[in-house]
Structure 1
Amino acid sequence: MEINIPGRGIIKIENLLLDYNGTIACDGEVISSVKDKIEVINKEEIKVHIVTADTHGNVRNQCADMPVQIQIFDNSNAAQNKREIVEKLGAENCICIGNGFNDGQMFEACSISVIVMGVEGCSAKSLMKADIVCKSIEDAFDLILKPSRMIATLRG
């Protein structure tokens, strides 16, 4: 998917990185609307990656029937691990959605970053690094599915 953002240029989105807990899941359980939205995004030929330290130990089970790639890493370097994943995928082609402190480096690396202020809240430090703030994961997904919203928010 290509998005032409006046003042920023054309961004070709190939990868969507999603934090798990607090972003697409609450208390370790995937939010009910997430699966359908991910399936629609997948049809846009955007690869969906879930990047997580898997706090509750159930991400693989919760996401088993979703078209996603799951990357679990050690909790001690979560922020750095997320940034490294973005860099390996090609940061210029990545959009990310998260809510936590450990998402800040991922936000800095991605072409477009979205923070979600859901039930778990969001990190104030990461908030300052995000390009866009959304009140829910559904709203964040709709930015991708209805790119004119993203363009209106980010144009220079």
Structure 2
Amino acid sequence: MQLLIPGHDKLQLTQLVLDFNGTIALDGMILPDVREKLNELAKLLKIFVLTADSNGSAAKECEGLPVELHVIGQNCQREEKRDFVRTLTPGVVVLGNGVNDELMFLEADLSIAVIGREGCATATLMSSTIVVTDIIDGLNLLLMHHRLIPTLRK
């Protein structure tokens, strides 16, 4: 996925990293319409889901989706997410909402904070490139990336 934003260098996105709870899921259950959007995005990007799996439901909820699930430990979550993003080649977009997402936001080429029903940690919000109030809006920015131009052009 190539982004041409006036005033920015050309950006070639190849990978999407998603937080689970609070971002694509609420109370351990994937939110409505997220499955459909992930199936569409998988045609454009390799998708990873990073989670501490607080509700123990991530594997079941992600079953059948075109995503690679990575469950992180209970300690040093911020660093684990950051380190995971660092292992990926350039061209990473991330979506998240928790304080444990802040450091991966700083490593990504594009970061989208989601202020959903769980809210969004201020540190993560301040580290984001874009803020949305609904995960579907965030995913649609990637599917209809012309929408990014008015928000990001300089």
| Paired residue total | 154
Look up the match of 2:28: 28
Look up the match of 1:68: 67
Residue type of the partner of 1:98?
G
Look up the match of 1:6: 6
**Structure 1 segments of 4+ aligned residues over 4 angstroms from their partners:** none
Residue type of the partner of 2:115?
M
1:153, CA displacement in angstroms? 0.9
- Deviation sequence 1:94-147 (CA, Å, 0-9, x none): 000000111000110000000001011100111111000001000000100111
Name stretches of at least 5 consecutive residues in structure 1 with no aligned partner.
none
Give the TM-score normalised by the residue count of structure 2. Answer: 0.97
Cα distance in 2, alignment partners of residues 61 and 103 from structure 1: 22
Identity %: 36
Look up the match of 1:127: 125
What SS does the aligned partner of 1:43 have? coil
Cα distance in 2, alignment partners of residues 8 and 55 from structure 1: 38
Name stretches of at least 5 consecutive residues in structure 2 with no aligned partner.
none
Cα distance in 2, alignment partners of residues 82 and 5 from structure 1: 27
Residue type of the partner of 2:146?
S
Look up the match of 1:51: 50
Cα distance in 1, alignment partners of residues 46 and 76 from structure 2: 24
Cα distance in 2, alignment partners of residues 151 and 84 from structure 1: 29
Residue type of the partner of 1:5?
I
